[in-house]
Structure formats: C-alpha cells, structure tokens
Structure 1
Amino acid sequence: MQLGVDHFLNQEARQYKNKRIGLLTNMTGVNHKLQPTIDLFYEHPDIQLTVLFGPEHGIRGDAKEGEKITSSQDPYTGLPVYSLYGETRKPTKEMLDNVDVVVIDLQDIGTRFYTFIYTVANVMEACKEFDKEVVVLDRPNPINGVQREGNLVKEEFRSFIGQYPLPVRHGLTIGEIALLYKHEFGLDCKLTVVPMSGWSREMYFDDTGLIWVPASPNSTGQVMSILYPGTCLIEGTTLSEGRGTTRPFEIIGAPFIEGYKLAKFFNERKLEGVIARPTSFIPTYQKYKDKLCSGIQIHVTDKKKVHSFKTGLYLLETVAKMYPEQFEFRDAQKKRSFINLLAGTDKLKDKIMRQEVDYFLEETQEELEGFTKRVSPYLLYKNE
C-alpha cells in the first residue's frame, strides 16, 4: 500500500520545485516507515518548505482537546509554525504571504465531530481568497469507506464539530472530503488530491499494514475509532466518556451508575459486534476527576458488524431509562447546547429521553441515501 505522501515524494514533488510550500500536518503525517512528512519535505532537494501549520492538538499532538495553541517555531526545522487552533482557525493573508502551495497531510478518523476536516475546509477557503493552491495527500478512512451512519448537520447547529452537512460516520477519505468541499460547498480553490494505491473502501485501518499513530491524545487505536461515532455523544451528557482513563470512548460511566446492571441491560439489547463488561475507574482529568466511577467498557467483537452511531444511541437510551433522575444533558436548556452541536439537531436528545432512538435512526436513512448519491462523483477508490 502507498499513501498519498509516498506518491507525492516519488512522483509529484519535482512539479513543485519552484514553489514555496506550506505544510499543514501533525504527528500523523508520516510515511509507512513512520518518517515524519515535515522531515521528509524539509530534507527533500526539490521542496522549498517555508512554513508549517498545525490543527487542534498542535503540530506534535501534545495539546488537549479544545486547548488553544499559540503559533511558535519548530525546533527541528526552525520554521514558523502557525496555529490554526488558537487566535484564528483560518490562515490569514500574512500566514500565506510566503506560500504558493499549502500541502495537507493529516490522518482523519472518519467521524464528523473530528475537527481536522474543518481545518482543511478553512485552509481551502483562505487559499481560494488569496489565490493559493492546495494539495491534499490522501490517507485511509480508518473505519472503512463503505459504512455511513447518522443524520446530517442542520444549518442552525453548524459549528467546528459539524461545519458542513456530513453524516456522523461519513465513509470518506480526507481527500474525498476536500473534493466534496470544492465541488459542492463552494470552496473552489485550485485543488489537487494525491491518492493512495492499494486501499479499498471496505478496509479498516488494521487491514492496511500501516502503524497507527494517535491523531490526538484520546484517539488510542482501532477500537476507539470504531466506537467514537457513537460514544462521542456522551460528551454532551453528565456521563464520563472515559477521558482521563487509558480507554477513552470505550469506557463510560459515572458515580451514580451501577456497572453490573448497566452491562446486563446494555447486552440484553443484543447489538451486533459489541459486548459490554462492568468496570470501575477514576478519571485523572475532565468529568469526575479523582472520583470513583462505575460503568462499562464496550468491547468490539466483530468490527465489520458494529453500527457505531446506533451503539452510542442505545447506550444513552439505556442509561436514560435506568437513571431518569441523575442522567442529564449538559446545558440542555440552551439551543446550541453541546449535545445539539454534536448531534447536529435538537431532536436527538428528546428521542433519547422518550426511548425513541429507533425512530430517529429510521429518519436518518433518507438523508444518508441522499448524501451517498451526492458524494459518489468524488469517490477516488472502488472496492478492489
């Protein structure tokens, strides 16, 4: 298998010999030997690397979720590093003054909540405005490019965790998303996507032979990325989503939960591809820091059968039924509460509380079918 960065360095780099290159990347930007794209570009005789850009979590991935990052200087190359998750989330004219082409090499994790894909959008918007070129070096969707789940974001709930009308599990690579932005969402910059070879849509990350590099401190691996389209919704509630443990988005609980009961009732729902076991944990930060929580760890027994979004919704529905007095949504009275921004709608929380999750899932099917038709012209890979 060859990544976009491999093809670029082997075949495309000479075309950009006289261009000043800005690179949007982080620690996930590596080749199959785990050599950083930053280093490979900086040391390449045909690449004139002038600036670096970093998304959420920083260019080296050491910042926590939501933590603002200041611009800095890269210690290895000495190049300026412009943060796109600090004072601005879109490159300014000054940031692009010494750039002809912005090359993007980021590993997305396949879920619309993840902010990297919106940093890509903001870069494309700026490059359209200031007449710069964008080159996206493609990478796998780690939870496959076939399955799509969830509703599309409604206009009034657009945010940096849902900036465009994508489903929760979008089934696209980062290069395909860039093509969608250009042709469907008005970000009509000069765009080149450098594709992979040897990747097919049904592949999960652990089918690729590549080594997983965490895209953020809590993106711990394949199981987390499979569950994340559903369990990320827990961030909008008073439950702990497992931040501050070694298994975030796999471990879920709270001080008021009885783990054995929750595991029993959740498993009785007989969801395909997952099973829960009772557990207890003490988060080291975030919700319930230093407090004993009880809950469950969700284990993936068959990755190909897991319906990620459905798993998260059934879990929330189960907890809401078991603990109607203790379970709450954060800032539920606000129109743009966190759960509404995550869900992309204000309907979901009511469906959870009314035990009507199945109706909500049925309502998403038409949206998903429409989205699948809309994106079909931009798919770069067929099932091989």
Structure 2
Amino acid sequence: MHADDRVDLVAVFGPEHGFRGTAQAGGSEGGHEDPATGLPVYDTYLTSGRALADVFTKSGVDTVVFDIQDVGARFYTYIWTLYDCMEAAQLAGKRFVVLDRPNPVTGRAALGPVLHKEFATFVGRQPIAQAHGMTVAELARLFNGEFLAAPVELETVRMAGWRRSDFHDASGLPWVPPSANMPTPDTALVYSGTCLFEGTNLSEGRGTTRPFELLGAEGLDGRWAAAANGLGLPGVRFREAYFTPTFSKFQGKVVGGVQLHVHDRAAFDPVRTGIALLVTARRTWSGFAWRPDHWIDRLTGSARVRTMIDAGADTDEVTGAWQEELAAFRRLREEYLLYR
C-alpha cells in the first residue's frame, strides 16, 4: 500500500503483540515510527470506544483497513480489536474495510460454549462460540449486524479460492506467526481448547517450542495421559511428556504432563478435548486449582464450566450443557457467512 501512489497511507495501528508481533501476551510495542516507511505507528492495545475514536481522528485517516490473521478462537484478541476498531471508526465517522483472511482451522462449524454477556471482557466482547468457525470479514458482518450500537460504513474484501473445509495448508500460503506463542498451524489447531489451561495453575506450554500442545505442572505424571487416552477422544492421542518452560508458569522447572498429537484433524474437536483434559487433570492430580481471578470463566464465557467440573461433572455433561446456545449461535451466524 505504501508503495502504491494511488494510496495515501498516513498511519499504522498496532494491536496486542504490536504491529511487528514481537510482544508477549498482555503486551504491545507502544507508539513509534515505522523504520521501513517513516509512518507513525499508534498503539491501540487496551484502547476502545471514544478514546480509540480520538486516536483515529488524530491520525488523520479517512478509512481504517483491518488486515490481521485470526486463528478461530473467541479469546484470541485480534477479533475484539476488530470489534473495537469498528465501533471507534463509527464514532469518528471513518469508513472501515476488512481484508479477509483464511480461518486456519476451517470454517466448517462453530464449537463450544457461547459467551454470556455478563462475562464480557477483551477476551470476549460479545456472545459468540468459543471456536466461531468464521473468517474476520464474516465476523465483521456479524458484529455490524448484531452487536454494534450503530453500524459502521463497512466494506469486506473476499478471498478467492478459500473453502470452508480448508485447513491452513490448503491455502498454499506460508504460516507467519500472528503472535509470539502461535508458532505453527498445529498450535492454532489445538488453541481453542487448550488455551483454557491459562485459567488453571498448570502450564499451557508458554516458554516451550510447542505452546498449547504441551501442558503440565510440577507433580503431574503419566496418570494424566493414561486417563485422557482412556476417553478415546476422536482424532487425538496424548503422550506423557516432561518439559522445562523458559518463561511464564514454572519457569526453569521440570514439569510433567501431556503433549497432544492430533492424527486426524478433521475428526478432532479442540473444545471438547480441552474440557476432557481439564476434567482428567482435576481427577488425577490433587494439586489442580483454578486461577484465583476465575480467568477460566472469562475464557469459557460463564461460570458453568468451572462449577460443573468442581461438582464432578464428566466431559459429556459439561459439553452437553451448552448445546442449545451453540445451536442458536450457529443459526445466527448463517446470515453473515460469505463462503458456502
């Protein structure tokens, strides 16, 4: 865009992790000048509403273009950057354009619980499913039609050649890590389920070369992998694993746990797998605990998963509890799908 004389590119906006993607979770790169173009880079992380609208006004843009790779999970914050920027663009009187990108884990079906509005945070602003099965352009259409107080002037630019059944490798595009702990398409495949371990005292694999595929804690042993394999979950096996995180939970300590090996990604259900791992971890390790801030409730979108598991519910009972709301969301999203 900067090299095209037909485009007057005047500003760049960085989300969580920053415009260059160098910051860890919960961080950004701040405001700075882009060395390649000399353009001002504005930090939008944790800015929303009128304050973000003022950033757009200050920047001098008349059109905001969203071009960020999502990974298909409700708690991946880029889609809420999309939502916040759409809201702010409407407040500032700016046009909004979304350049669509593939959902790397397909757009076949929505999975998991739907957010309850009283649990809305930056890891879930609006009631969509935990694995939404949509592209960013489809989500923008959904946000504009259902959730924004006033619609923004929206244009969505469709992809050519993408099918809802396509995993990332079908695109022929290289995988560029969209954030520091999303190094491969395999990470994205499991993320919408195993990110739930952020809400526990177990490591979700940050600080390893396989984040969200390696899970564990001090004191865990092979009983967890055995219990998880005993469930016969489709498309995945669990290997007893030991690892030493270089940062985040258990930094520098040897922990035991599991590594997920997805052998049939078409049959694999990441959200059901994540719930099964929570249930079996709690039953096989006496040290299991939720994060004291109830972060798990923000990730799952309600207190239901936590309270049901604490009450002894099994995987089928927990996943069965959200089927009615999930069916309603699947019906709602149909109107906004761009690819059939």
Q: Does 1:355 align with 2:318?
A: no
Paired residue secondary structure (1:295):
strand
* Alignment partner of 1:326 out of 287, 291, 296: 287
* Alignment partner of 1:249 out of 208, 212, 218: 212
Counterpart residue identity of residue 219, structure 2? F
Aligned to 2:103: 141
The answer to whether the 8 A contact 1:148-1:368 is kept is yes
Extract unaligned runs of 5+ from structure 2: none
Aligned to 1:192: 155
Counterpart residue identity of residue 234, structure 1? F
Q: Does 1:365 align with 2:323?
A: yes
- 2: distance between equivalents of 1:315 and 1:96? 46
Report the CA distance between 1:368 and its aligned residue. Answer: 1.6
* Alignment partner of 1:224 out of 176, 179, 187: 187
Instruction: Give the % identical residues.
Output: 40
Counterpart residue identity of residue 30, structure 2? T
The answer to whether the 8 A contact 1:52-1:82 is kept is yes
- 2: distance between equivalents of 1:255 and 1:93? 47
Q: Does 1:74 align with 2:37?
A: no
* Alignment partner of 2:200 out of 227, 234, 237: 237
* Alignment partner of 2:334 out of 369, 373, 376: 376
- 1: distance between equivalents of 2:48 and 2:91? 15
Equivalenced residues, count:
335
Counterpart residue identity of residue 243, structure 1? R
Counterpart residue identity of residue 195, structure 1? R
- 1: distance between equivalents of 2:126 and 2:13? 22
The answer to whether the 8 A contact 2:195-2:212 is kept is yes
Report the CA distance between 1:372 and its aligned residue. Answer: 1.3
Counterpart residue identity of residue 317, structure 2? Y
Counterpart residue identity of residue 35, structure 2? P
Greater mean deviation of Cα atoms: 110-119 or 352-361 = 352-361
Aligned to 1:300: 262
Residues 307-338 of structure 1: CA deviation (Å, up to 9, x unaligned): 10000110110010112x3100011xx5xx21
- 1: distance between equivalents of 2:55 and 2:252? 44
Paired residue secondary structure (1:159):
coil
* Alignment partner of 1:340 out of 294, 297, 300: 297
Paired residue secondary structure (1:63):
coil
* Alignment partner of 1:60 out of 10, 20, 23: 20
The answer to whether the 8 A contact 1:82-1:95 is kept is no
Q: Does 1:96 align with 2:53?
A: no
Residues 171-223 of structure 1: CA deviation (Å, up to 9, x unaligned): 10000000001011125000000000100111111121111111101112122
The answer to whether the 8 A contact 1:321-1:355 is kept is no
Report the CA distance between 1:135 and its aligned residue. Answer: 0.4
The answer to whether the 8 A contact 2:15-2:28 is kept is no
Aligned to 1:5: none
Aligned to 1:15: none
Paired residue secondary structure (2:112):
coil
Report the CA distance between 1:94 and its aligned residue. Answer: 4.2
Counterpart residue identity of residue 193, structure 2? G
Report the CA distance between 1:151 and its aligned residue. Answer: 1.1
- TM-score normalized by the length of structure 2: 0.96
Report the CA distance between 1:280 and its aligned residue. Answer: 0.7
- 2: distance between equivalents of 1:292 and 1:203? 37
Report the CA distance between 1:44 and its aligned residue. Answer: 0.8
Q: What is the 5 A alignment of 1:112-131?
A: 112-131=74-93
Give me the CA root mean square deviation.
1.2
The answer to whether the 8 A contact 2:100-2:157 is kept is yes
Report the CA distance between 1:68 and its aligned residue. Answer: 4.3
Paired residue secondary structure (1:242):
coil
Report the CA distance between 1:150 and its aligned residue. Answer: 0.9
* Alignment partner of 1:175 out of 115, 118, 137: 137
Report the CA distance between 1:291 and its aligned residue. Answer: 0.7
Kindly tell me: are residues 101 and 121 of structure 1, through their superposed partners in 2, closer, same or farther at Cα, counting changes over 3 Å?
A: same
- 2: distance between equivalents of 1:278 and 1:94? 49
Extract unaligned runs of 5+ from structure 1: 1-40
Report the CA distance between 1:261 and its aligned residue. Answer: 2.0
The answer to whether the 8 A contact 2:220-2:257 is kept is yes
Counterpart residue identity of residue 287, structure 2? Q
